[in-house]
């Protein structure tokens, strides 16, 4: 609850989606990471992934870290 942001790394399980829901409710900044763009497959993913509060990130973990550390999260 004290975090400024959350990073959701896919594939995520039930607990991951609970944390995502809590972050949405607390209006936290959310980075959703997938190494590929499978998160855009509407048939297999959660609708929550497409909310405007969720920032999708693709590529390597290094690219994710670069995005998280250079993005203003406040």
Tell me what pLDDT residue 50 has.
80
Tell me what pLDDT residue 69 has.
87
Give which of 42, 67, 49 is closest to 10, Cα–Cα.
Answer: 49
| Full strand arrangement of the beta sheet holding 54-58 | 5-9, 29-34, 54-58
Structural domains counted in the chain: 1
Q: Determine if the pTM surpasses 0.85.
A: no
Tell me what pLDDT residue 73 has.
57
Q: What is the mean pLDDT of each run of 10 residues along the chain (74 residues)?
A: 90 85 93 83 76 88 88 64
Tell me what pLDDT residue 47 has.
76
| Domain coverage including residue 50 | 5-70
């Amino acid at each position: 609850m004290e975090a400024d942001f959350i990073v959701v790394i896919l594939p995520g399980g039930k607990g991951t989606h609970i944390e995502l829901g809590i972050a949405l409710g607390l209006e936290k900044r959310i980075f959703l990471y997938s190494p590929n763009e499978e998160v855009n497959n509407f048939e297999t993913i959660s609708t929550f992934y497409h909310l405007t509060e969720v920032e999708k990130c693709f590529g390597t973990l290094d690219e994710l870290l670069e995005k998280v550390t250079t993005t203003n999260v406040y």
